[in-house]
Amino acid sequence: MKEYSKSKLNRVKRGNKRATYDVEKINTILDAGFLGYVSYIYDGKALCLPMGYGRKDNKIYLHGSNANRMLLTLIEAKEMSMTVTHLDGLVLARSGLHHSVNYRSATLFGTVRKVENDTDKEAALVCFMEQMIENRWDEIRPINQKELDRTLVVEMTIETASAKIRDVGVEDEPEDYDLDIWAGIVPIRQIADYPISDKGISENMKIPEHVLEYYVINKS
């Protein structure tokens, strides 16, 4: 079992019994998502924005326009952090202060570089697309040079990380378990509805297999 080393930067202090530094478990959290929250400093102000991402091994890929303020700031800083969180349930207790949520959350810390080479940029964009929906890249038209030139791609190398996972029930005070108050968990999950074809699509055009497969896997 490979783990990220613990330091002041990534060590979980509060609720450390729920912490994990296991690389495989953290990658599983990352691979279950597509949106991460990226933090950075701009003009002396702390900002946090959601971004789609792709992961390959210990690399995270982000992309935007060449004028993207956040990506340019990250390149200048040469480092970044990102958090990915999945909400799995509402935990409803007998007292207000013991209400909680079940979740999986991973926070990454790493170094940043701008991807310059066209071949590497395209590979990063493929990674991004595959994170969104598998087997999509081969079904769409090839990216052209003009599009590639105006796209800024950033690569984050994960240097260290940590995760917290809560997957248990209500944890009330011992004396509250005899109260006549309902308590329990409301499970929460993200699902996919049946695909809707774009208005320009011919009525005879079938929905691609990779899209239907995504729907079937994620519909319930």
Contacts of 139 (CB under 8 A, 6+ apart): 208, 210
Reported as a single tens digit per residue, the pLDDT across 16-47 is 899 999 999 999 999 999 999 999 999 999 99
Please, what's the b/e burial string for 181-210 (b: 16 or more CB within 10 A of its CB; e: otherwise)? eebebeeeeeeeeeeeeeeeeeeeeeeeee
CA–CA separation, 114 vs 78, rounded Å? Answer: 9
What is the predicted pLDDT for the residue at 220?
83
Whether 53 shows a pLDDT value over 80: the answer reads: yes
Tell me the two tokens of residue 73.
Answer: 């700031």
What is the predicted pLDDT for the residue at 138?
93
Average model confidence (pLDDT) across the chain: 96
Q: Which of 195, 33, 26, 24 is nearest to 128 (CA)?
A: 33
Whether 148 shows a pLDDT value over 90: the answer reads: yes
In the chain, pLDDT over 90 holds for what percent of residues? 96
Tell me the two tokens of residue 15.
Answer: 């609720």
* DSSP per residue, 55-96: EETTEEEEEEETT-HHHHHHHHHTEEEEEEEEEEEEEE-SSG
What is the predicted pLDDT for the residue at 1?
75
What is the predicted pLDDT for the residue at 123?
97
- The CATH 2.30.110.10 portion of the chain extends over 16-173+181-189
81: how many CB neighbours lie within 10 A of its CB? 19
What is the predicted pLDDT for the residue at 151?
97
**Model confidence, pTM:** 0.93
> What homologous superfamily does CATH list for 16-173+181-189?
Electron Transport, Fmn-binding Protein; Chain A (2.30.110.10)
